[in-house]
Amino acid sequence: MQEESAAGMQEETAGMQEESAGMQEESAGMQEETAKMQKETERQRRERAAARAGYASVRFAVPPRVEAAASVVGKKEKEGPLGTFFDRAEEDPMLGKKTWEEAESELQRRAARLCLQKAGLQAADIRFLFAGDLLGQIVATSFGLEDLGIPLFGLYGACSTMGEALSLAAMTVASGFADRVMALTSSHFASAERQFRFPLAYGNQRPLSATWTVTGCGCVILQDGAAGRRPGKETNGEVFLRGVTAGKIVDLGVRDSMNMGAAMAGAALDTILQNFRDFGVDETYYDRIITGDLGIVGRRILLELAAKCGVCLRSVHEDCGLMIFDCGRQDTHAGGSGCGCSAVTLCGAILPRLFGGEWRRVLFVPTGALLSQISFNEGQSIPGIAHGVMLESGI
């Protein structure tokens, strides 16, 4: 009995020792896991700090890559200086539809499908879609992209919307919430004239400060920069979104809806200078600084305001509204404008020069005049906004 009791106690003691050893191992494992979590948290904190650049900007540790871009324009845009750069030009301003608004929706539909085709992708391969237009409740986007079935973030930043769309799309990819996203914006001369100015049948005279709304849609697909090229993709250069600078609303007190370049110039300069401060660069860092649609009047004001701040932009600045039309020959007065202006110029003329290595760094700054029929008719001023997107060639 005593022997059995002693043996039992020995077994029990051994079991307790084994259990104690197991608890020690478990405790060591928990400590290791805790240390790992603390290390991971510290790493994430450093990464977040590295991603924040100054006051209004984001720097991407792994910059998203431009996988494809497509542009669809109207007849007048095809006849301009960039006509041969666009993927597709539509001779029929109605695009086979019954209304101008339906025509703009069709522009978006065709540009999105063309971009998917160029990338060799299906709509199901796109995680999110960031898109917008100038019309009330962004109806061109709502009706134009419904058939794609892609989760949509509808945006409105007036003519700066392509910059807003690219910024949000890039942050979504860089933060790991999506492997692949689409950014798209459009405008149509006739639908914009009807909403913001006068019906075309009215035949009103336009002052020389007025711009001509571009009929067109530009679409870009962004991919995770860490992902490799897919088999079969062409091996020309790459373009990355290095960082973005969110714009602030800047109101210079302009109340003339026919002079939107003047209304947006202050916002453009504010974003450009903020980008310089946040990233510790100046105008010499970029091959080009390209605004959206300041036109002749807005560009002149931008250069004058910049000079007063001790910054000379004249040698590096271009404007999509001046690139897309020959103002004298095409009678567009101060230049081009609209959501589609910066979008199609980006896809047709800017990105190809980055892909080819002609330009290495471009600060793309779409500009917007934040007015509506109501605010204008109530005598409100026209605030401006601009968003900066840092594009870099990977060659």
Mind listing the pLDDT tens digit for each residue in 39-66? 556 555 555 555 889 999 999 999 999 9
pLDDT higher at 307 or 373? 307
Measured between alpha carbons, how far is 297 from 211 in angstroms, rounded to an integer?
10
Q: How is residue 84 annotated by DSSP?
A: G
Q: Look at residue 76 and tell me if it is in a domain.
A: yes
Answer yes or no: is pLDDT of 270 > 80. yes
% of the chain surpassing 70 pLDDT: 84
Mean pLDDT (the chain) is 90
- Centre a 10 Å sphere on the Cβ of residue 177 and count the other Cβ atoms it contains: 11
Please give the pLDDT value at position 15. 64
70-78 average pLDDT score: 98
Q: Give the pairing type, strands 388-393 and 216-223.
A: unpaired
Distance of alpha carbon 219 from alpha carbon 354, whole angstroms: 16
**Helix ranges restricted to H, 175-334:** 189-196, 260-279, 295-308, 320-323, 327-330
What is the structure's pLDDT at 39?
55
Residue 12 falls within a domain, yes or no? no
- The structural domain count of the chain equals 1
- Strand 57-59 relative to strand 52-53, pairing: antiparallel
pLDDT the model gives residue 1: 53
More confident position, 174 or 27:
174
pLDDT at position 320 is: 98
Is residue 230 very low, low, confident or very high in pLDDT (cuts 50, 70, 90)?
A: low
- Residue 137: how many other CB atoms lie within 10 Å: 10
Residues written for the chain: 395
CATH code (residue 203): 3.40.47.40
pTM of the model: 0.86
pLDDT tens digits, residue range 139-193? 999 999 999 999 999 999 999 999 999 999 999 999 999 999 999 999 999 998 8
> What average pLDDT does the segment 16-22 reach?
66
Proportion of the chain above pLDDT 90, given as a percent: 75
Start-to-end CA distance of the chain, whole Å, equals 86
Contacts of 169 (CB under 8 A, 6+ apart): 64, 128, 130, 181, 182, 183, 220, 222
pLDDT tens, position by position, 357-383: 999 999 999 999 998 888 877 889 999
Structure tokens at 184: 């798209």
Residue 287 resides in a domain: yes
In a domain, 18, yes or no: no
Residue 335 zone, left/alpha/beta (φ > 0; ψ -120 to 50; rest): left
| 44 domain-assigned | no
| Residue 225: domain span | 59-393
Is residue 308 predicted with pLDDT exceeding 80?
yes
Contact partners, residue 55, CB within 8 Å, separation at least 6: 274, 277, 278
Question: Which residues are bridge partners to 73 per DSSP?
Answer: 89, 216
What pLDDT digit, counting tens, does each position of 114-148 carry?
999 999 999 999 999 999 999 999 999 999 999 99
The pLDDT assigned to 373 comes to 80
Query: Whole-angstrom Cα distance, residue 104 to residue 144?
Result: 8
Q: Which two tokens stand for residue 272?
A: 């450009």
Q: How much helix, strand and coil, in percent to the nearest 5, is found in the chain? A: 45, 20, 35
Q: Which residue has the tokens 């030009």?
A: 89
Per-residue pLDDT at 20: 65
Give the dihedral of Cα atoms 350, 352, 358, 359; nearest 10 deg. Answer: 40
The pLDDT assigned to 227 comes to 81
pLDDT value at residue 48: 56
Residue 372, CA distances (Å) to 76, 136, 187, 292 in order: 26, 9, 15, 19
Rounded-to-integer distance, Cα 190 and Cα 391, Å:
32
Name the E strands within the chain: 52-53, 57-59, 65-74, 88-90, 128-132, 152-155, 180-187, 212-213, 216-223, 239-245, 288-291, 317-319, 336-337, 361-365, 367-369, 384-386, 388-393
